[in-house]
Structure 1
Amino acid sequence: MKKFLKIFSITILVIVLMSIVALLLFGRNNHSNLSGSVSEKIDQYLTNEKFQGTVLIAKEGEVLFTKGYGLAATDLPNSPSTLYQVASLSKTFTAVAVMQLVEKELLNLDNPISQYFPDFPNGETITISHLLSHSSGISDYLKENFEFDYSKEWNPNDIVNTVSDSELEFTPGKSFSYSNTGYVMLGLIIEKVSGQSYANYIEEHIFEPCNMFNSMFTVPADIPKAEGHIEGKVGPLIHNSAAYAAGDIISTVEDLELFDRALHNHVLISKETAELMSMTHAKKFPYQYGYGWFTQDVMGEKAVGHSGGYPSGFRHYITRLKDEELTVIVLSNEMTVNSKRINRNLTSIVLQQPIWLWEEQL
């Protein structure tokens, strides 16, 4: 028996050592199959990945690379000016709008939402800060148990009502759970405080100051836009009211870069407010969230970022590395594309640093 245990222990040790060696040898991608300039390597990488969508990479306020790949729709190639439903990338816009109202002293982050939703259960214990950081405990109306119908037109108050009878998932402020409902509520609060519709507020106070002339909430019939795809086929119909302030903005990579630049240059909010947004206010492994941003370490660099996706066939990811002043925007109109992994590898190529396999998902 002792001999068996000794052999077993040695075998396990050998397996562990071999696994470590294999990880060191093969667990890091240095993109050695790519050649030429950084831009040429980026293009080769995206071509090799058979990427469908558009990418923009900017550093220190200058666009380093931007290009579209594949089709946005029939006979319409993807390009830097292609319009996409940016889905949850909209949440950063909503958070910025809230923070603008805070700076104007029209809102306070510690205000209970009962001031704006007097009939919402537990509203006196949930604050605007909790909504911004997904730490409210309010259920997400897009979870399967609510059987949300994406195809019909929705009033945002009706969206909130779909979860009003549900118990909180946890005590507000004590954990993190991504809640689209919370951002729908923030959109309604923006309307109540500003006296404008959510769309009009965003257009006047964010799109216009950023010169985002190709961003909107409804695309006119004569303007082409990207169609979502799932494994090459056009995705199901999603009504543009289904996400409201949680994800209804339509934009381009070029306009999103203008938004990012305006934030960095403090055109929309102060430096202090921008720093507050990028601080971690809620977390639950492996997620950390500020106000409208996931807070992250990307390849050893402090960063903020956000994902975006629609079941109609869109997958997006944006990341900004603070000290490097590097912004990577990946918009895809193919659901099977892992935009976050693409984003991380593009970051690796630009920084000219190898990337560990697990770093692709951090």
Structure 2
Amino acid sequence: MQFKRPAALKLVFSALIGLLLAANLHAEKREFPELNDLIRQEAANKNLPLLSIILVDKDGVVWSYGTGVDAANPDLSADSNTTYRIGSVSKLFTDIAIMQLVEKSVLDLDEPVSTYLPDFLPDNPFVTPITLRLLMSHSSGLVREPPVGNYFATNEPTLEATVKSLNTTTLVYAPGSKVQYSNAGIAVVGRVLEKVSEQPFAEALKENILQPLGMTKSAFTPDASVIRNLPEAYMWSYQGDRTVAPTFELGMSPAGSMYSSMSELALFMDALIKRGEGSDGRLLSEKTLETMWTPQSTIQSGRNRSFGIGFGLGELDGERSVEHGGAIYGFATQLKVLPDRKIGVAVATNLDMANGAINRIADHALRVLLAQQDGKAPPAYRISAPVSATTAQEMAGFYKHGDETIEISRRFGNLYVERIRGLSLRLREIDDRIVIDDQMAYSEEFEFRDGKVTVRGTEYEPIANVMPATLNPAWSALVGEYGFDHNVLYISEKFGKLHALIEWGMQYPLIDLGEGKFQFPPYGLYPNEQIVFERDDAGKVDNASLNGIGFARRSTGNIDGDVFHIEPVKPVADLEREALRAEPPMEDGEFLKADLVDVTDYSETIRLDIRYASNDNFLGVPVYSSARAFLQRPAAEAL
């Protein structure tokens, strides 16, 4: 069944809408210089290359701002027309398209989804069938990622192939028993739309959602006009490097492949504020929209999130909020509307996993607009500062709560708390108190008192830094790198547990189920999902499989213990001359005078293995002229 307008009429409407909206949504532009200043400061503090933000109320756009210039295209500066990949904000458009068909009685939210997709047959060992309502409220029990067309796959398969691959998976939970975010689930929703509308998914969205809203420069399959204002985007890692983000399209397009700008998202928020009334007629009935804004379950996700149909539900200072965030390679987006106050915000940046930073900015912008509506002074926004060296030294160490161990340490000149529910987060100071203030998260629920650390209500006791136990022999063959250049899966051991660092930023302890099977913890991106290590004919581990997603083992040198070698970009003699000509940076301050001594003078038991004085190093040639080691005298005496 199709739901289309005549093509000629559609084009006329589309052109008129675009012209009208350009005027109507800019009825009253206001100035917020304090917002401009703090956004510039936060962008610099969090190393955000570009950032665009827009505020709307019932009359349209009231303010927009952008900061940053595209490194790959200096003519492109951030503003409300800059294009971003908006990631999972795409899900809202997919779900609204489905709800249009529900209103037409073409679809039933509570009918088994197999009614519309007879070939959708994942292994469901439970009694309850999967429905559209469960899929759209993230409680279907499906895995997070499909085996084909997932977040890691670069081959851009069809939506049909992506959804079909779910037939090789088993539900993680009984449908309706747990809220667990699933990209795979929204891929299925998009496939239902595709089948029932008898159109490719992207065309159905364009015709029934984007064009009626006047979003002519937004798309799920972008053309030149859409990506003309798309900046280069960046990935980052805990190792401190930053790389250009990949640009492939996802097979699960309905879950996260939309491109848009803040000015175009303003058109979408305008329709939400007007309770479903779009510029080209009604997008949805007010009743349907309220259904989407109603919790579909009393159960919250492991990350304490509540979902309606599509929308994340929350509150800001007592005001109801409907929202969604987005994160896709190199981009982070947040869209939030306070429907009862008729205001909304959209903000995006071109840095991966920077949702914590932009969420804080988005919330503050809404608070400023609320204060203006209420005739109050705007709230203060406090910029954090580095933790003092004295406090950092006092806090550094290991802490434990139950079987969970965290570490506080310095890295790249900043203080970090590591492995809080899988995350390593930067610590800063605001008004003499410690806060989490990082690209990924902001939280004031942190306290250091009497030598103990409390994070989000959980108290951690200090423990001694002791020599770790010998690595479990069964795990030693598993430690290493797996996956892809654009998305590496790191398997390591820490605190007596095997850990998986996945999607660059999330590091989870794994539960050993035996025979090479491990389970993720009951929180995070992949709660209770399993990863299986597979071996080749010679018995060596060559693959890690996450619900059918293969992460091939990466070569990091000879894993049997031989020295890793590289091919230098220049002859070592040339590199050595360059190094000797280099000078260390000048530093101001009071420093100890050099008093270096040979460490072997202090004990006959000290033996040296200085690889750079031999051929036994990654360069394969000696770099040092002698095998000697020196320390400051007090350090040598302590040794």
Give CA-to-partner distance per residue, 1:96-150, whole Å, 9 cap, x none: 000000001100001101113334135771111001100100001179x998533
Larger CA Rg, structure 1 vs 2: 2
Q: Once the 2 structures are TM-superposed, how far is the Cα of residue 233 of structure 1 from its aligned partner? A: 4.5
Q: Specify the code of the residue in structure 2 equivalent to 1:157.
A: E
Secondary structure class of the residue paired with 2:334: strand
Q: 1:300 to 1:244 in 2, by over 3 A?
A: same
* Distance in structure 2 (CA, Å) of the matches to 1:112 and 1:180: 19
Q: 1:343 to 1:217 in 2, by over 3 A?
A: same
Indicate whether 1:299 and 2:317 are aligned. Answer: yes
Contact 2:58 2:273 (C-alpha < 8 Å) held by counterparts: no
Find the counterpart in structure 1 of residue 73 from structure 2: 74
Q: Once the 2 structures are TM-superposed, how far is the Cα of residue 331 of structure 1 from its aligned partner? A: 0.9
In the TM superposition, 1:1-362 aligns within 5 A as 39-50=32-43, 51=48, 52-72=50-70, 73-75=72-74, 76-119=76-119, 120-121=121-122, 125-141=129-145, 149-221=152-224, 223-231=228-236, 233-265=242-274, 266=276, 267-282=282-297, 283-284=300-301, 286-310=304-328, 312-335=329-352, 337=354, 338-351=357-370, 352-353=378-379
Q: 1:150 to 1:65 in 2, by over 3 A?
A: farther
Secondary structure class of the residue paired with 1:284: coil
Q: 1:128 to 1:79 in 2, by over 3 A?
A: same
Contact 2:292 2:308 (C-alpha < 8 Å) held by counterparts: yes
Q: 1:323 to 1:245 in 2, by over 3 A?
A: same
Q: 1:224 to 1:309 in 2, by over 3 A?
A: same
Contact 2:86 2:257 (C-alpha < 8 Å) held by counterparts: yes
* Distance in structure 2 (CA, Å) of the matches to 1:335 and 1:121: 32
Q: Once the 2 structures are TM-superposed, how far is the Cα of residue 216 of structure 1 from its aligned partner? A: 1.6
Q: Specify the code of the residue in structure 1 equivalent to 2:310.
A: G
Give CA-to-partner distance per residue, 1:144-170, whole Å, 9 cap, x none: x99853322121233224443332121
Q: Once the 2 structures are TM-superposed, how far is the Cα of residue 360 of structure 1 from its aligned partner? A: 5.7
Q: Once the 2 structures are TM-superposed, how far is the Cα of residue 341 of structure 1 from its aligned partner? A: 2.0
Q: Once the 2 structures are TM-superposed, how far is the Cα of residue 346 of structure 1 from its aligned partner? A: 2.1
Q: Which moved more, 1:152-161 or 1:207-216?
A: 152-161
Q: Tell me the C-alpha RMSD between the 2 structures.
A: 2.7
* Distance in structure 2 (CA, Å) of the matches to 1:162 and 1:361: 39
Contact 1:53 1:334 (C-alpha < 8 Å) held by counterparts: no
Q: 1:112 to 1:91 in 2, by over 3 A?
A: same
Q: 1:219 to 1:82 in 2, by over 3 A?
A: same
* Distance in structure 1 (CA, Å) of the matches to 2:134 and 2:260: 27
* Distance in structure 2 (CA, Å) of the matches to 1:212 and 1:106: 25
Q: Once the 2 structures are TM-superposed, how far is the Cα of residue 194 of structure 1 from its aligned partner? A: 1.1
Q: Once the 2 structures are TM-superposed, how far is the Cα of residue 336 of structure 1 from its aligned partner? A: 5.2
Q: Specify the code of the residue in structure 1 equivalent to 2:34.
A: K
Q: Which stretches in structure 2 are left out of the alignment for 5+ residues?
A: 1-29, 277-281, 371-377, 383-434, 445-639
Contact 2:149 2:252 (C-alpha < 8 Å) held by counterparts: no
Secondary structure class of the residue paired with 1:307: strand
Q: 1:55 to 1:105 in 2, by over 3 A?
A: same
* Distance in structure 1 (CA, Å) of the matches to 2:220 and 2:268: 16
Q: With structure 2 as the length reference, what TM-score do the two structures score?
A: 0.48
* Distance in structure 2 (CA, Å) of the matches to 1:325 and 1:206: 21
Q: 1:86 to 1:177 in 2, by over 3 A?
A: same
Contact 1:89 1:247 (C-alpha < 8 Å) held by counterparts: yes
Q: 1:49 to 1:273 in 2, by over 3 A?
A: same
Contact 1:59 1:325 (C-alpha < 8 Å) held by counterparts: yes
Find the counterpart in structure 1 of residue 549 from structure 2: none
* Distance in structure 2 (CA, Å) of the matches to 1:47 and 1:236: 23
Q: 1:315 to 1:202 in 2, by over 3 A?
A: same
* Distance in structure 1 (CA, Å) of the matches to 2:323 and 2:158: 29
Secondary structure class of the residue paired with 2:195: helix
Q: Once the 2 structures are TM-superposed, how far is the Cα of residue 234 of structure 1 from its aligned partner? A: 4.8
Runs of 4+ in 1 over 6 A off after TM superposition: 355-359
Contact 1:155 1:241 (C-alpha < 8 Å) held by counterparts: no
Secondary structure class of the residue paired with 1:58: strand
Q: Once the 2 structures are TM-superposed, how far is the Cα of residue 55 of structure 1 from its aligned partner? A: 0.3
* Distance in structure 2 (CA, Å) of the matches to 1:102 and 1:122: 27
* Distance in structure 1 (CA, Å) of the matches to 2:40 and 2:216: 30
Secondary structure class of the residue paired with 2:96: helix
Find the counterpart in structure 1 of residue 428 from structure 2: none
Q: Specify the code of the residue in structure 2 equivalent to 1:330.
A: V
Contact 2:56 2:270 (C-alpha < 8 Å) held by counterparts: no
Q: Specify the code of the residue in structure 2 equivalent to 1:121.
A: P
Q: With structure 1 as the length reference, what TM-score do the two structures score?
A: 0.82
Contact 2:307 2:313 (C-alpha < 8 Å) held by counterparts: yes
Secondary structure class of the residue paired with 1:149: coil
Contact 1:299 1:355 (C-alpha < 8 Å) held by counterparts: no
Contact 2:53 2:65 (C-alpha < 8 Å) held by counterparts: yes
* Distance in structure 2 (CA, Å) of the matches to 1:234 and 1:219: 23
Contact 1:280 1:289 (C-alpha < 8 Å) held by counterparts: yes
Secondary structure class of the residue paired with 1:199: helix
Q: Specify the code of the residue in structure 2 equivalent to 1:127.
A: T
Secondary structure class of the residue paired with 2:168: coil
Q: Specify the code of the residue in structure 1 equivalent to 2:294.
A: M
Q: Work out which structure has the larger RCO, using CA pairs closer than 8 Å and 6 or more positions apart in sequence.
A: 1
Q: 1:243 to 1:118 in 2, by over 3 A?
A: closer
